[in-house]
Amino acid sequence: MAGNIHPTAVVDPAAKLDPTVVVGAYAMIGPGVTIGAGTEIGPYCMVDGVTTIGRDNRFYRYCSIGGMPQDKKYKGEPTRLEIGDRNTVREFVTLNTGTVQDGGVTTLGDDNWIMAYVHVAHDCHIGSNTILANSVQLGGHVHVGDWAIVGGLTGVHQFARIGAHSMTGGNSSLMQDTPPFVLAAGNPCRPVGVNVEGLKRRGFTPAEISALRDAYKTIYRRGLSLDAARAELRARQQAEPEVASRLQTLLDFLDVASRGIIRP
């Protein structure tokens, strides 16, 4: 292991690093850290707290990973940060541990692309295959679904949820939940359609895309209450089993949208 660790790096003896982990110059690794095979920790990174990092991740220089929550209620409880595999985390990203007021853990899944200056606050849960562009700022308890894309300089209010396969434009201010599959942008953030191009790239069938377009109209264009829109979507789900799983993703999200959803 020592051959992969720069002589200026400081690695606590209690840290658990796979022998293939690479640690750059002046990086610091704390005692509660576990890092899997093939992961690279760049120069000047700080990895501390109770932090578990999986395989083949790459952290560029100056990241702060596993720092304590920026929450005045935090009193030093042993909360955690859990990171999956094959994530790319660029310069000056901050990923904080959780708080006991929530589940006590912040999570980042697999194959995510986290650009420079992104902040992921306490108790956030980010899925897999997401893109968080430069300077995205996530408040505490934010959930980001798989394959979501969040444009640069976007701020996300605490407890907000961003649905799977959605895309949010840059410089947006997201105060409420963005449903899956939706294109959104603005300050305040508003829905502007369905993320059709993204869905095509990910292998959605024409029938699925058509059904999601109609679902968007049901939610946003027909003057229905959210309860009435959900009822209509469930009826379509039963009538068209070939698109049922996609509509279920949307319904599951709407059923737990506690902050309300973004509106035109």
Annotated catalytic residues are 122-123, 140
Strand ordering across the sheet containing 16-17: 16-17, 33-35, 50-53, 80-83, 105-108, 125-126, 143-144, 161-162
Q: What is the DSSP letter of 118?
A: -
- Surface-to-core class of residue 76, CB atoms within 10 Å of its CB (0-12 exposed, 13-18 middle, 19+ buried): exposed
Measured torsion, CA atoms of residues 5, 94, 159, 100, in degrees rounded to the nearest 10: 60
d(CA 242, CA 81): 38
User: Contact 211/243 with Cβ under 8 angstroms?
Assistant: yes
Contacts of 156 (CB under 8 A, 6+ apart): 136, 137, 138, 139, 142, 150, 162, 174
User: Contact 138/162 with Cβ under 8 angstroms?
Assistant: no
